Structure 1
Amino acid sequence: MPDIPITGFIMDSDDSGSRHSHTLYITSWDGVPVHDHEFRGITSFDVGHDHRYAGTTEPARSGVQHTHRYMTITSFDARHRHRIRGVTGPAISLPGGGHYHEFRGVTSVDGETPHSHRYSGRTSG
């Protein structure tokens, strides 16, 4: 299998505790620039509460039709949180340039009364 050149940079977590970590930011994949999008929202109101969520999609190649995988954890409400993960829809062009993606799904099942929430929205452009 051939090597695929990847460029990027690593950021130190600046954590002085015992759990030190780094974050890798990929800026190109096989010579093609990549990009990501921010996403955020509020889940449906179920079992007497809702949750907030926010995150950044995984990188995808720029300049071609694409989708992004995403994953995050909701806010801690009603003594629990949920996992959110999925794949965005295809890129939707913006009139002034750029694009966004729509996303929707159902959270993981959690809580004292096991339940899930629906969520949907649009990524940043």
Structure 2
Amino acid sequence: MLNHVVNRFIDRQRWLDPVADFLQKVVAGSYKLLGKPGHSLKTFMHGTWLGHPLHPVLTDIPIGAWTIAILFDLSYLIERSHGWVSAADVTIFIGLLGAIASAVAGYTDWSDTIDRERRVGVA
């Protein structure tokens, strides 16, 4: 029920279309600017080589890394060893890299969407 209400609401938000047009041009233009390597990168970020979209796979990296960072922080509270702090810092950094890669893959997938899916991606 709520899902249908949200979908209808987003469907009526036609002002999102020009925003989506602009963002899709930015994403497509970024890959086009790189020429042949850009096409290869776009294919890679779509997950064509994997046989599955890459974005959902990459989202696990920041979630897992940041969860481990919390465990390292809790371990520091128990042991007070600065090794836990360093370990947490590394996992936070890994999570940030994974989040960036996930965002790039997500925008790459989204750039080929139309209509409702495109508006949902902007909303």
TM range (shorter): under 0.3
Q: Identify the structure with the greater helix proportion.
A: 2
Relative contact order (alpha carbons < 8 A, sep ≥ 6): 1 or 2 greater?
Answer: 2
Report the TM-score when normalising by structure 1: 0.21
Q: Which has the higher strand share?
A: 1
